[in-house]
């Protein structure tokens, strides 16, 4: 894990998640950072609720519930007026 600093701009979305998201299909499969980034890119960009819903559905696949706790929070900065 590494600390990173970045500037968020209007329209950007910050996604926070627990390892339950990336390990939802463990031990058969776990998401790497690249897998997670691909899932974010593939998600509908219709707002934070759609993004979270898509990420959880993608992570679970055919499972009806996660094997561990799973939390995802997406915050979108308002667009500049």
Question: pLDDT tens digits, residue range 42-63?
Answer: 999 889 999 999 999 999 988 7
Beta bridge partners of 74: 15
**Whole-number Å distance between alpha carbons of 31 and 10:** 28
Whether residue 81 has pLDDT greater than 90:
no
Confidence (pLDDT) at 26: 86
Percent of the chain scoring above 90 in pLDDT: 68
Q: Mark out the alpha helices in 1-81 (DSSP H runs).
A: 19-22, 33-42, 48-60
Confidence (pLDDT) at 38: 96
């Amino acid at each position: 894990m590494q600390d990173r600093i970045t500037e968020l701009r209007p329209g950007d979305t910050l996604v926070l998640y627990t390892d339950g998201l990336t390990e939802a299909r463990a031990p058969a499969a776990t998401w790497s950072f690249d897998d997670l980034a691909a899932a974010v890119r593939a998600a509908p960009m219709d707002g934070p609720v759609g993004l979270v819903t898509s990420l959880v559905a993608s992570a679970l696949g055919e499972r009806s519930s996660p094997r561990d706790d799973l939390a995802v929070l997406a915050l979108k900065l308002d667009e500049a007026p």
